[in-house]
Structure 1
Amino acid sequence: MMTNPFLFIFFLLLSFFSSPAQSPRFKVAAFYSTKGEMDHVDFARDGLYFFDLIAAQQQFTFDATTDWTNLNDNYLANYDVVIWLNDFPQTDDQRKAFERFIGRGGAWLGCHVSAFNLPDSKWKWFNEFLGGAYFHSNNWPPLPAKVVVDDRSHPVTKRLPASYDSPTGEWYQWTPSPRENKDVKVLMSLSKESYPLGVKTIIKDGDTPVVWTNTRYKMLYMNMGHGNKIFSSQDQNNMITDGLLWLGGAERMEVKK
């Protein structure tokens, strides 16, 4: 029996500091920009706070960088999931490194403008990665919209109601609709009740997927990402959280209150 209290404290501290640290369940790197449209910058700043918070709750690592030259093999080798918050790669080297990352089984969460591409885009691989969707039109000014959940059984949407009112955002419509691609799983769309949507620029009708995955890859795109209201909906926050965990291959852990 140990009678010396100082030795007892010493061995207690030794045991504490020598115990192995809990390994993260997966590792995430977010790429973003502090330049460009202010609503996109505001979203990125809010996103950094949100993802950092859920990283602590859900036991994954979260790093962020504005240096897009980090989109290279050496840097990406440290991560399982890459998030593009409000921008996309600008050079062929960055694009090719991302393609290799995805080819090795890496996962991608793309937000709003990060998927912007047009038919004359030189990065044809990325368009195929998105399911063949090119930007077609948008609403303006940014407005809230009712969204419907196409598949409530999917891990990304399992905590969502059949529909909810998504906070103010700029909504993109795509051509052709990614739904036409047999490999694409559309998870959420604009409700028909939201049309016509806009004032200066109007989405009048049609099919408007807002969250989908190309099942050939570990990827998830969400239209949400414009302005500082995106994280003001608990339903939407649940979707974003569950989407990231799904990409990381982890189940959601209950958060102690």
Structure 2
Amino acid sequence: MKNSTLYILLILSCFIQPNCLAQKQKKSHFKALVLYENGGHHLDFTKAAKPWLNKLAIDSSFTIDYIENTKAINEAFLKQYQVFIQLDYPPYTWSEESMQAFQKYMNNGKGGWVGLHHATLLGEFDGYPMWKWFSDFMGGIQFVNYIPDFASAKVNIEDKSHPVTKGIPSDFLIKKEEWYIYDKSPRSNVHVLASVDESTYEPDSKIKMGDHPVVWTNDHFKSRNIYIFMGHAPELFENEAYTTLLRNSIFWVAGRK
């Protein structure tokens, strides 16, 4: 009886205060920051990703801010966001301040990170030294090579119990990807969720690394994080397994799964 009375009072208060339900809904919102590339050969992927992300945000009641370089990134700036999506943006050209801010963000457990594709382009590029901390964050790897003429391949889910892989088939086809290889597998330093079966490359390629993780999380950090290698072709947003993986990742790092 007491619970019924409290429920009736809550409903009545919402009639008296029209913003009551809106305020309750607002509490479930989170803010996401998307760092994206506004040029180069990943531009088509960015153009496909933005409307997909915008619709997801509207449908799921969160907000997104977009930036196309790291100039704005500092500690105070990142405190605004519960999710940081590194959308095909490399781990170089960052200022010392932005690097330090991101490192603190990943260590403080108050936000989460989803990195795609270009985020593991680790090495010395365009006159910039390799960001050693980021290499360790990605499992101690360094970029070595990639399949420039692309290949389709089967991706196998390795951890079917993880919230990020919920609702995804045990294996699925990626029709077009560059398939980076690294100087070593990150497996010993990260929790691998999925890997690519290099024997299914079509057309076949000599550019292989053997054990080839493509989705993983680094459990050594307080902040939840997911790296998803696939992120070159805009057609990925027509692949239900891929969009489910990306959606799950965003909500998991936000603490909503």
TM-score, reference length from structure 2: 0.83
Q: Which runs of 5+ in 1 are unaligned?
A: 1-11, 252-257
C-alpha distance 232-118 of structure 1, shift in aligned 2 (>3 A): same
- 1: CA distance, partners of 2:123 / 2:209: 21
Q: Are 1:92 and 2:96 matched, yes or no?
A: yes
- 1: CA distance, partners of 2:203 / 2:179: 9
Query: What's the CA shift for 1:14?
Result: 8.3
Alignment correspondent of 2:114: 109
Alignment correspondent of 2:48: 46
The 5-angstrom pairing of residues 101-250 of structure 1 reads 101-105=105-109, 106-118=111-123, 121-181=129-189, 184-195=190-201, 202-204=206-208, 206-217=210-221, 218-250=224-256
Match of 2:29 among 13, 25, 30: 25
Partner amino acid, structure 1, of 2:121:
F
- 1: CA distance, partners of 2:74 / 2:49: 23
- 1: CA distance, partners of 2:51 / 2:72: 21
Match of 1:57 among 56, 59, 62: 59
Query: What's the CA shift for 1:16?
Result: 3.7
Q: Percent identity?
A: 31
- 2: CA distance, partners of 1:57 / 1:118: 38
Match of 1:125, SS?
helix
Contact 1:87/1:113 (<8 A) preserved? yes
Query: What's the CA shift for 1:13?
Result: 10
C-alpha distance 67-192 of structure 1, shift in aligned 2 (>3 A): closer
- 1: CA distance, partners of 2:84 / 2:174: 24
Partner amino acid, structure 1, of 2:56:
I
Match of 2:84 among 82, 86, 90: 82
Alignment correspondent of 1:255: none
- 1: CA distance, partners of 2:131 / 2:255: 28
C-alpha distance 185-149 of structure 1, shift in aligned 2 (>3 A): same
C-alpha distance 166-195 of structure 1, shift in aligned 2 (>3 A): closer
Give the ranges of 4+ consecutive aligned residues of structure 1 lying more than 6 Å apart after TM superposition.
Answer: none
- 1: CA distance, partners of 2:20 / 2:253: 32
Contact 2:122/2:130 (<8 A) preserved? no
C-alpha distance 157-97 of structure 1, shift in aligned 2 (>3 A): same
Alignment correspondent of 2:7: none
Alpha-carbon RMSD across the aligned residues, in angstroms, is: 2.3
TM-score, reference length from structure 1: 0.83
Partner amino acid, structure 2, of 1:230:
L
The alignment of Structure 1 onto Structure 2 pairs a total of residues equal to 234
C-alpha distance 205-128 of structure 1, shift in aligned 2 (>3 A): closer
